[in-house]
Structure 1
Amino acid sequence: MITKYDELFCHQVVSTFDRPGTSAREWTERAWLQIHDLEGTAHLATGFGYYPNRNIMDAFVCFTVRDAVQYIVRASRELRPDIDVFKVGPFQYECVEPLRKVRFKLDENEYGLSYEILLDGVSPPVEEEPAQFQISRGRVREHIKRMVQSGRPTGWIKTKEETFALDPSRWVGERDRSWGIRMAGADFVETGVQPPEIHPGQLFNFVLMQFETWGATFHIREIWDDRLNRPRRWHFGGALFHPFGSGRESLELERVEHRYTFDDSRPEQPRRFAGGTVILTALDGSVKEVSIRPISICYQAPGGYGGFYKGFIHGLWKGPFWMDGYRLDVTDPAVRREIWGYCDYGSEFRCGGEVGYGTTELMVVGKYPPYGYQGY
């Protein structure tokens, strides 16, 4: 099937762009965006998923206001024949200027949330090196390439109660663009296949921060190894970066040391990130010590990340078209328990006398003795 992308000089396999170079059903492309204000009042995360070997395109948004209310809208459609149209019901995605500007839009709908957000990158995208790669019991579970970018948003977000104008001096944003073999959400409900290994414990940590004259990002995956009695880092990538026009290229990070604290005061939200410090060492030997303070939270499990909330997870066939939405009271402990899992924390970062903003994703599951956790 010919698409408009077949006019471009960027083919890499003897096929049209409607099919990837692999038949793996796990082949996934994602565009993800989150924005949050500097006071911690509001935090929105949204994304698109493209699954050509599942014949699905889906989209979601999670919008948390004052850690009291969260709006959720999810939608899914049959991918073909409109394979080159980035629209799922009222959701739309547009690359306005490659490697610089993207637009996410949600038209008015019955669920009381709409928005139009243009993210303008403040620095060039950072290519995550190496690619994320994991094998479990002989099966490639993940082989993902991604790029990330910090930016400032303009536009608006509207709920039934209020409208938020996005002032780029008071809001920040981050985006992730990824493609490859991915542990698609639907794999969690797939039957007839051997389940992956269950490790004693795991740590997942992604951070993207922007200061006025520089920024940093890193992505860590660790497994607790009982034989070695220490965490084993199976994926690490990170870099320091600088704004457009600075004339400076990004610099790879050699290592990151993390020292986090957690809040276990709420039984329905165990291991909630409470802050900490990271020490970044670049390839040139330079070292930056950065403190992190969470200022907002967005619960993304209901959006399809990891949790099977009310019948939806990324990459799951829901028919030719499907859509739902909710307004949740996230002050209710029962609701918090139901949606707890993968979260993004809007964060304030401090390095010396500099103050920056960005996002922290952190999950510690199972055994991780360095932080006092001995099991699931």
Structure 2
Amino acid sequence: MAITPADDYLIHQTPYPIDRVATSDRNFYDRYFFNGYSPDGDIYFALAMGQYPNLGIADAAFSIVSDGRQRVVRASRRLGPDRMATTVGPIAVEILRPLHQLRVSVAPNPYGIQADLTFTARSLPVEEPHFFRLAGNVPVMDYTRMTQHGAWSGTITVDGRSYAVEATTWWGSRDHSWGIRPVGGRDPRGAPPQQPPQFFWNWAPLNFPDLCTLYTVSEHADGSRWHQSGAILTPYPHATITEADVAYHLTFQSGTRWLQTATITLTPPAGEPLQITFQPLYPFLMKGLGYGDPKWGHGMWVGEDVVDGTEYRLDTEEPLQNLHVQQVSRVRAGSRQGLGVFEIIVLGPHAPTGFRDLLDPAP
């Protein structure tokens, strides 16, 4: 344990310095996620950064899709004691004004991607209901997540080609989550799982000119829900949050577990339901941010101060080997038109959508 700059703030939650978290669980993490898209949806970018105090690792990745290619630069390092050091390799996150404005940047690197971007909140932050899930009697998820919609400004450069990002038209969202979920590879301790893997996950933050919405659903194989939340938000300067019940209807591309169409309904306690339809444009592969990557997965040790990059051709990626995607989508709610993502994982059986086995595809 060590005294670090964070200890100068009146934020302590335990009798220890900030570099020591309250639990010894190896899977404790603290993580940023950001995404953004051009007004026509043709360009999509995302950044993630995580700290894993009980593994001693920090990692980050920035990924951008354009012209059917998904480019990635990623980095990993030893965490060290200073939890406020939010730079990993060339990738950095800076809080300019908490809950209102943050800066993300990617310094020059061998993989041809640079960025200097400012996220300015369009909406109030939404504290989603607490996530808690057991595998048998073992907690595998126990965390909090905050989601917020925003506008982007700045520049992105890929192989010398620069994109001017303007806050009037480039929107996106971010989240910050912390707690316990599986990181750092499979924990070899304890009894093996009794049940085959199953995970049904939906998450959709959307931006419209005069509205922002959030939808999330997680269900067991029989369709019973272990987590759900919905929110309808009016943007600043008159920002409000209205919680909503959620429902969905999904169809899937033949031979895949990727969406063909989606309709979600947000029903507030008073007023009319808001029905939103999705036109998926293309998938963003979440492995580009470390989700499920066998080497660059979250909290995986790859060495001291390592920087790496890769590229995926979206038209050649196998959907059943890429279950975890964010499908960049045009969306419509009545006369409103907007943009956003529908993040989805359907692993194993799920009765409401007709999947019966580990990886059977849609007919």
- TMscore range, shorter length: over 0.9
Match among 201, 219, 222 for residue 222 of structure 1: 219
More off after superposition, 340-349 vs 47-56 = 340-349
CA distance in 1, matches of 2:163, 2:195: 43
- CA-to-partner distance for each residue in 1:159-180, whole Å, 9 max, x for gaps? 1162221122332111001111
Task: After TM superposition, give the deviation of residue 144 of structure 1 in Å.
Answer: 0.9
Amino acid at match of 1:160: D
What is the TM-score normalised by the length of structure 2? 0.92
- Contact 1:43/1:297, CA 8 A, preserved across alignment: no
- CA-to-partner distance for each residue in 1:302-334, whole Å, 9 max, x for gaps? 3211232xx221011223222211133333x3x
Distance 1:137 1:374, change over 3 A: closer
- Contact 2:78/2:305, CA 8 A, preserved across alignment: yes
CA distance in 2, matches of 1:262, 1:197: 29
Identity of aligned pairs, percent? Answer: 29
Match among 305, 320, 324 for residue 308 of structure 2: 324
Segments of structure 1 that go 5 or more residues without pairing to the other structure are 226-230
Report the equivalent of 2:297. Answer: 313
- Does residue 211 (structure 1) correspond to residue 201 (structure 2)? The answer is no
CA distance in 2, matches of 1:197, 1:80: 37
- Does residue 236 (structure 1) correspond to residue 236 (structure 2)? The answer is no
What are the equivalent positions in structure 2 for 1:156-235 lying under 5 Å apart?
156-160=155-159, 162-184=161-183, 186-188=184-186, 190-196=187-193, 198=195, 201-225=198-222, 231-235=223-227
- Contact 1:299/1:339, CA 8 A, preserved across alignment: no
SS at match of 2:185: helix
Distance 1:323 1:195, change over 3 A: farther
CA distance in 1, matches of 2:39, 2:193: 40
Distance 1:104 1:83, change over 3 A: same
Amino acid at match of 2:338: G
- Contact 2:29/2:50, CA 8 A, preserved across alignment: yes
Task: After TM superposition, give the deviation of residue 181 of structure 1 in Å.
Answer: 1.1
Segments of structure 2 that go 5 or more residues without pairing to the other structure are 359-363
Amino acid at match of 1:187: G
- Does residue 249 (structure 1) correspond to residue 240 (structure 2)? The answer is yes
- CA-to-partner distance for each residue in 1:127-185, whole Å, 9 max, x for gaps? 11x2000111222111111111111111111111622211223321110011111222x
- Contact 1:60/1:73, CA 8 A, preserved across alignment: yes
Report the equivalent of 1:354. Answer: 336
- Does residue 340 (structure 1) correspond to residue 287 (structure 2)? The answer is no
- Contact 1:62/1:299, CA 8 A, preserved across alignment: no
- Does residue 51 (structure 1) correspond to residue 52 (structure 2)? The answer is yes
Between Structure 1 and Structure 2, how many residues are aligned? Answer: 357
Report the equivalent of 1:293. Answer: 279
CA distance in 2, matches of 1:77, 1:295: 35
Report the equivalent of 2:94. Answer: 94
Task: After TM superposition, give the deviation of residue 203 of structure 1 in Å.
Answer: 1.7
- Does residue 272 (structure 1) correspond to residue 258 (structure 2)? The answer is yes
- Does residue 259 (structure 1) correspond to residue 249 (structure 2)? The answer is yes
Report the equivalent of 2:41. Answer: 40
Distance 1:22 1:158, change over 3 A: same
CA distance in 1, matches of 2:57, 2:198: 32
SS at match of 1:9: coil
Amino acid at match of 2:228: F
Distance 1:169 1:207, change over 3 A: same
CA distance in 2, matches of 1:328, 1:238: 32
Distance 1:203 1:173, change over 3 A: same
CA distance in 2, matches of 1:296, 1:131: 30
User: What is the root-mean-square deviation of aligned Cα atoms in Å?
Assistant: 2.0
Report the equivalent of 2:127. Answer: 127
Report the equivalent of 1:228. Answer: none
CA distance in 1, matches of 2:215, 2:343: 10
CA distance in 2, matches of 1:357, 1:86: 29
Task: After TM superposition, give the deviation of residue 212 of structure 1 in Å.
Answer: 2.6
Amino acid at match of 1:59: A
SS at match of 1:60: strand
Report the equivalent of 2:4. Answer: 3
Report the equivalent of 2:361. Answer: none
Report the equivalent of 2:289. Answer: 303
What is the TM-score normalised by the length of structure 1? 0.89
CA distance in 2, matches of 1:337, 1:286: 37
Report the equivalent of 1:149. Answer: 148
